[in-house]
Structure 1
């Protein structure tokens, strides 16, 4: 299978993004939302990420959006300004085909170029249904930094939350420029 084309997302992609995310909300444990947001809400979120100076990408295969990824603020306090949290969602029929890795690689490169120094992956149910996300991040060089046990409840069961981290660019070897 050919590698997906990765490009910056646009407002025109929101319908596909909302469909991918909606499926994840309704059927998975990667997102801990219980109700899928509509396209209007997804557009607001997209606009906020972009206005904040963070990257937002989509993956296309045969002209169809099959996944998306973005980085956003890890926490709102100023001392966290050089650290981002990533989010990656893949259409069910495109999972396991390299789309997630292509998106994550593009996201890490772009975040490093923008001067971000650390990337955090907050993985819901990283030992269960979201094991693919954990493996994706491990292969990309993320390390496990903690597990909060039984902090979410969805689909009739308690869920753990896993935190993974990766240095970007200079990491912690020099002071940040942001």
Structure 2
């Protein structure tokens, strides 16, 4: 009887473990959202370069575009935060290897140092990366609002040269989110 009970307990324990996942689940919403965000942000910056020095290119005329980008980021950050369950950024070894292979020398520091946190997951990395994108978006917005002035009327504008670094960092982080999600798929 004890042997049968022990076998039943062992079978139940093993079946409970079958749902255990060592890699965070792929999130299509985050993956698709990061690509859409990349397209929208890059289009916005390019449009602002084309409209520099005109009334249509001023910060005030384009605040709604910044609000839309920030709202999209806030929703994605909230989703990644909920999935991370408050854990830090950490990629499992297999996932880290896939990400480093895909990104080569363009790995953000947040991913490169992901093995240092004892309690973390890939969703924590996405949360951190998306927060970095939000910081860069706010920096681009600040440049547009306060930094650059164009044309004879000294209008607020966004020159590609002054927003280049912030946009590059934002794109690197957006791409890293996409790579993390695609690596989780495989």
Q: TM-score, normalised by structure 2?
A: 0.24
More strand by share: 1
Larger radius of gyration: 2
Task: Using CA pairs under 8 Å that are at least 6 residues apart, name the structure with larger relative contact order, 1 or 2.
Answer: 2
Q: TM-score, normalised by structure 1?
A: 0.24
More helix by share: 2
